[in-house]
A = this chain, B = another copy of it.
């Protein structure tokens, strides 16, 4: 039972895997990983040729695995000599733009690897990880996905891929940044992310990938930026902490790492706007239309906020609010800010961190490099990134995002009647769950079906049950829960879940619903309308996914 342990005792294990598929355990996957388990899933049988089996190996990974080594892959891809890109090559040359048009079966599905272009349309249905997963790369580069699913890193996989080669990429100039663009210095992002807005960058992982990993790979972790990503020199970086006498302490990264012991916490972050798309569909809030992916889980490493506060002279019996300011600022100089109750900040069980690591890596720029707040069990908006300053006072942060956003109102409140002082700032969040597979409006076939998803509750409440219905709520089945066991009241991370069921022949449609229950026996409500609100936050209605059942 790993919940919170110091770095002396061991690091978070990034290689946790929970599904029955074979897993990639390292950048060099052990050859012994049981191929037979693929066959035991009934998708493939031993009469297939060796070539087909290798194709399975190549494709299966898109639905598998945990390790993330995108940078390493990019380097290797750059080093790879394209097999036939020599002068006098028989292959035509395409621009990336031309390749990008081939992202549907109707138009043929192309992908690139290094400087080669491949038409993988005929491979789609051979992909044991599901067509939907390989289609994530359609019209673009394979590298980011193969980096995610490390088992592709084998010579015979590349050999098979070459059989689908249809062309080569023309040398292109990298796109030039717009002069004066405040977002020009934003970091590169993973192409699998579903982008809500580019500037500021707000994006989420595709549904099918959400429940593939208990710890979300950093590059797939949902990004929720309010402002441009600041450029921070870690050597010059200083955290300002107001001490008990009102003076400012200045702490370098080295100070933080030397003066305080390191702690790790596995915690799920969720944006208050997760699943806003369903609210927008009912009545548009004109705010970011998050699907079900504005939620992710990581193992955060850093120092306890409690330790820093005590170092600054505060006592556990003090009261008030701990206010945070980020380095991200708009052109007028306004910085992002938020606060949490002092009681949560100082509590040993509260597990609030100033994190400099995420899943064992240096905190990525999109997630607050070099230092961010992590407030387990609490809405994402309080986990201030690029942390510049900590103050303690009798009042909540005066920031817009604390006082005039991230609050919950009743469905009858309008922009004409809203009184922001009447609702408390969202801190701990209500119970939540969603279906990540199958995707809405896709097709399944009669026979075996695995429904997957996630479930989480705020305030450290454990998830005790997930109920799944296939018939619109008439009957319910209990799903299998997967994930770390955490301490009561400190269950900061989600549970992944799956229901293995079968679709009877003759079924035309499935109306899949999930709902979950936490330790306090709070449940999700049936529908969106009664909790719809002008800010489009806190949508935790039952998640519903309709899928067609194909005749076989």
Interface residues in chain A, defined as those with a beta carbon under 8 Å from any beta carbon in chain B:
341, 343, 408, 410-413, 423-424, 426-431, 458-459, 464-465, 467, 473, 475-478, 488-489, 515, 517, 519-527, 529-531, 538
Contact = CB atoms under 8 A, between A and B. Distances in A.
A459 B488 CA distance: 13
Contact of A430 (B408, B523, B526, B527): B523
6 closest A-B pairs by CB = A526-B526, A430-B522, A525-B525, A522-B522, A428-B520, A412-B476
B521 A476 contact: no
A517 B467 contact: no
Contact of A411 (B410, B411, B476): B476
A163 B413 CA distance: 53
B523 A526 contact: no
Contact of A530 (B430, B464, B526): B526
Contacts of A473: 529-530
Contact of A408 (B341, B413, B424, B521): B521
Contacts of A426: 521
21 contacts: A408-B464, A408-B517, A410-B467, A410-B478, A410-B517, A412-B476, A423-B464, A423-B465, A428-B519, A429-B520, A430-B520, A430-B521, A430-B522, A458-B520, A473-B529, A515-B530, A522-B522, A523-B531, A525-B526, A526-B526, A526-B530
A252 B302 CA distance: 51
A contact face: mostly helix, strand, loop, or mixed: loop
Contacts of A515: 530
Given A410-B478, A423-B465, A431-B522, 14 more contacts: A341-B488, A408-B517, A412-B475, A412-B477, A424-B519, A427-B520, A429-B520, A429-B521, A458-B520, A467-B530, A515-B530, A520-B522, A523-B525, A525-B526
A465 B409 CA distance: 9
Contacts of A489: 343
A412 B478 contact: yes
A424 B485 CA distance: 14
A353 B525 CA distance: 34
A519 B521 CA distance: 16
A429 B523 CA distance: 11
Nearest to A428: B520
A429 B520 CA distance: 5
Given A430-B521, A489-B343, A521-B430, A530 B424 contact: no
A521 B523 CA distance: 12
Contacts of A429: 520-521
Contacts of A410: 465, 467, 476, 478, 517
Interface centre among A428, A467, A523 (most CB of B within 10 A): A523
Contacts of A428: 519-520
A307 B41 CA distance: 59
A430 to B, nearest CB: 4
Contacts of A523: 430, 525, 530-531
A535 to B, nearest CB: 12
Contacts of A424: 464, 519
A91 B146 CA distance: 99
Contacts of A427: 519-520
Nearest to A426: B521
B525 A538 contact: no
A289 to B, nearest CB: 20
Contacts of A525: 523-526
Nearest to A409: B465
A125 B46 CA distance: 86
A531 B522 CA distance: 10
A299 to B, nearest CB: 24
Contact of A521 (B412, B488, B520, B538): B538
Contacts of A521: 408, 426, 429-430, 538
A431 B459 CA distance: 15
Nearest to A412: B476
A476 B517 contact: no
Contact of A527 (B341, B475, B526): B526
A423 B529 CA distance: 31
A405 to B, nearest CB: 14
A39 B538 CA distance: 45
Contacts of A475: 412
Contact of A467 (B411, B464, B477): B411
A408 B424 CA distance: 30
A523 B522 CA distance: 8
A47 to B, nearest CB: 40
A410 B410 CA distance: 28
Contacts of A519: 424, 427-428
